[in-house]
Structure 1
Amino acid sequence: MVGKPADAGAVLEAHDLCLRFGAVEALKSVSLRVMPRQIHAVIGPNGAGKSSLLNCLSGFYRPQSGAVRFMGEDISTLAPHRRAGLGISRTFQGIQTYPSMTARENILSGFHNRMKGGLFRALLYWGPARKEEEAFAARAEDIIEFLELEQERHHPVGDMSYGMRKRVDLGRALALDPRILIMDEPMAGMSPEEKGDLARFVLDIRDGLDIPIVLVEHDMEVVMDISDRVTVIDFGQVIASGTPDEVRANPAVIAAYLGGEAA
């Protein structure tokens, strides 16, 4: 499967993705380009195809046609764990933490894909294995500090508030040392205060860690405040793409959200 030539400078690209489930077309020639240091939001009504697009980008779905490229390389056939190994990290709508483990232990679990030593070397716990574990422990502490989880470090995640658990989930995604972060409705179910905190961390990830982000989110106020570019999907098709101001004023977007007819 061959797509269009890679766009210069793009981190992650989708070209003409078509995804069908039987007679249902979830995606119809959807294209997307995420640039460095960019928060690229994907919005649309419920059932528009947003999560299907994220699943194609991260490898959980294999589209019938089209291509996905990462740093200019075609990754359309790579499995999810191979994409994670390249630096594509993902958070999901639901919380994927281990409730009986502490915040620190959950974040440490995110390093598994970066471990180079085998089981035998890990059991011996000497030389490279020990240095690797010490490096991961130090990096986990950096993530804990970055996400302001110091007070929750040794608390079981199952005892934490919803917002804190989502923050730990984000910390585990950062443990992959991602080159891009894909976030599927990270603020769903949060209070306004929790949303404000997470929005601040999303901006810090872009600005402080230099990690571009693909964000699916229903809170339009947050999307318009923090995004650099917005792609709008409706019924599996891209109906608009541009800056938040351009998208906000687009008649097709207004029609999709308000139920009227595009001018």
Structure 2
Amino acid sequence: MPSEGTTVLEANALCLRFGAVETLKSVSLSVERGEIHAVIGPNGAGKSSLLNCLSGFYRPQSGAVRFLGKDISSLPPHKRAALGISRTFQGIQTYPSMTARENILSGFHLRMSTGPFAALVWWGPTRREEEEFAARAEKIIEFLELEQLRHTPVGDMSYGMRKRVDLGRAIALEPSVLIMDEPMAGMSNEEKEDLARFILDIREGLGIPVVLVEHDMEVVMSISDRVTVIDFGEVIACGTPDEVRTHPAVIDAYLGDAA
């Protein structure tokens, strides 16, 4: 559960329009330290648009995004990533010709302090930094149980393992919050169970809060601390999984008999 109620990431009254289409209508959301906060709703409800606003890919017409109390509404995605907002997407964003280890190492690029000229000679601070990142990558490989695949090209892996490598690269950013957009789409039940376990470990073992958009209600209700429900661009409910699953508006709009 959230610890001490400290807000890490916050959306305040976000309004997003594309022409005449109002995608988000004064949507607010807060992510606390130590929590998994799921965002659910029907297709087209505005869930991915909300994540894009949080991570900087969309700029809402009004409202604000705050990270650790600082207004970051004007910052582009790469600057938000440098602050500590990491993101995975619906599609796999790995480098298929590179190994699992190399993909994870690429996630450290925003944490590098030495420049390209120092890297050419590879001595002193550059060598120490590379060795440090290599050690951190090995810890992530062990954390995600990828030891047997560390030197395997990602393009030769199964879908579930590629998603796991994608997650590893996001963890390499050493984020203060992790945003995940439908991470279990297309996975088998066994792969979903593994990923759900890793998400819990990320929260509990690494202390990283997670914002999760996911359609698998069994997973959402079993691992989330709080759930925000969006329908037609508006928040219709927010609460614990038990509170949300019995909310009349949520049952009518989304869960139906599955509640």
Q: Does 1:33 align with 2:30?
A: yes
Q: Does 1:88 align with 2:89?
A: no
How many percent identity over aligned positions?
Answer: 81
Task: Determine the structure 1 residue equivalent to 2:235.
Answer: 238
Kindly state the Cα deviation for residue 257 of structure 1 after the two structures are TM-superposed: 1.5
**Alignment partner for residue 115 of structure 1, among 107, 112, 117?**
112
After superposing on structure 2, the runs of 4+ consecutive aligned residues of structure 1 that deviate more than 2 Å are: none
Shift of 1:87: 0.5
The DSSP-based 3-state class of the residue aligned with 2:7 is coil
CA distance in 2, matches of 1:192, 1:242: 26
**CA offsets, 1:100-138, max 9 Å, x none?**
110000001111111111110111111111111001000
The residue number in structure 1 matching 2:124 is: 127
Alignment of structure 1 residues 61-76 onto 2, 5 Å: 61-76=58-73
| Counterpart secondary structure, 1:211 | coil
CA shift at 1:259, angstroms?
Answer: 6.7
Unaligned stretches of 5+ residues in structure 2: none
The equivalent residue for 1:78 is 75
Change (3 A) 1:187 1:101: same
**Which position in structure 2 is the counterpart of 1:42?**
39
Aligned CA-pair RMSD: 1.2
Whole-angstrom CA distance in 1 between matches of 2:139 and 2:91: 25
Aligned to 1:27, the other structure's residue is in SS state strand
Candidates 35, 52, 57, aligned match of 1:60? 57
SS of 2:82's equivalent?
A: helix
Match of 2:6 among 6, 9, 20: 9
1:137 paired residue number: 134
* Separation (CA, whole Å) in 1 of partners of 2:14 and 2:124: 46
So what's the TM-score if we normalise by structure 2?
0.96
Aligned to 1:208: 205
SS at match of 1:241: strand
Distance 2:190 2:42 in 1: 24
Paired letter, 1:148? E
**Deviation by residue 1:47-85 (Cα, 9 ceiling, x = unmatched):** 000000000000000000000000001000001000000
TM-score with structure 1 setting the length: 0.95
SS in structure 1 of the partner of residue 75 of structure 2: coil
In structure 1, what is the equivalent of residue 18 of structure 2?
21
Which letter maps to 2:55?
A: S
* Matched residue count: 254
Instruction: Say if 1:258 and 1:204 are closer, same or farther in 2 by CA, change over 3 A.
Output: closer
Q: Is contact 2:245-2:255 (8 Å) kept?
A: no
> Partners in 2 of 1:58 and 1:164 — Cα distance?
25
Corresponding position: 1:191 with 2:188 = yes
Q: Hey, what's the Cα distance between the residues in 2 that align with 1:65 and 1:257?
A: 27
Q: Deviations over 1:193-215 (max 9, x none)?
A: 00000000000000000000000
Read off the aligned partner of 1:81 and give its amino acid letter.
H
